[in-house]
Amino acid sequence: MAKTTARVLGTMVVYGYPRAPIDAELDLADQLGAEVLEILPLWREEPDPASLRRRVEDRGFRIHSAHGCWGGQSIRADRVDLGATSPAVHEASVDDLKRCVDWLARAGGRVLVVHPGGLSDAALFDARRDALGRGLVALAGHAEGSGVLIAVENMPPGVHPGSRMADLASLVRELDRPELGLTLDVAHAHLSADAASETLAAGSLLASTHVHDNDGRRDTHEPPGLGTIDWPPWFEALDAIDYRGPIVLECIKRIREDRSLYRPEVLAPYVRRPGR
């Protein structure tokens, strides 16, 4: 195996969920060896970002990112779909994600992960691409000067556009806004194509990652090593595009349910030991 760059380990944690108090989430993040966090707030409650920031910093973590609203996980919109061709749905989606930008800025984070849309008809690709582009431009304008970058995530099969990183990368390059980038979900890539090629397609636009595993058929969010992803080629692809950001676990629910499922040795060659 070729030597690869050692990157910071992060993990998603939830915030505002009564059954998963933030202190317990931070305890688990500490046990995993994470240094940075992606926050999944209970968006409909808009939990206090300033309080979160203080608690995270007191524990020696840093907020890297937040997962923005999507689908029914919304603030005021009935559903969030940046590729929606309905003007009303599209406007409400953009407005909710602007609220997410503002929330993350107050929390002290940098990257807002957004979905390009939900399951859709391939025949609507062009119309949905146009809607997605308009939504991203609006979000980029709103984020300007805030320090927040909007990073569009690749999706499992059936999202048009969105399931293939090349389509998202082409759109973000075309829009040419410094507030826009990409998030590579390695397990979604495993379902749509393969992790390494989708990473290479993202190239220099890659701003963050979502790391979990699956069997190549279902998006089950297993901890790394419990599926069929071939990890060394993925990390070699990260090196090839000179990605310097964190490796962010997106499987904390499964680990919370059974901590024995986490196999730190799978990622150990590729992440640095925590310096906290």
Q: With a threshold of 0.75, does the pTM exceed it?
A: yes
Of the chain, the percentage scoring pLDDT greater than 70 comes to 98
pLDDT at 4: 73
User: C-alpha distances in angstroms, 223 versus 3, 160, 185, 212?
Assistant: 23, 27, 13, 5
Mean predicted lDDT score pLDDT of the chain: 96
pLDDT digits (tens, 9 = 90+) for 156-171: 999 999 999 999 999 9
Q: How confident is the model at residue 5 (pLDDT cuts 50, 70, 90)?
A: confident
Q: Which two tokens stand for residue 211?
A: 């790391």
> pLDDT band at residue 3, thresholds of 50, 70 and 90?
low
Average pLDDT over residues 229-246: 97
Count the helix, strand and coil residues of the chain and give each as a percent rounded to the nearest 5. Answer: 45, 20, 40
- The domains located in the chain, with CATH, are 9-267 (3.20.20.150)
Q: What is the DSSP string of 161-209?
A: TTSSHHHHHHHHHHHT-TTEEEEEEHHHHHHHS-HHHHHHHHGGGEEEE
What does the pLDDT read at residue 273? 76
Instruction: Label residue 1 by pLDDT band (50, 70, 90).
Output: very low
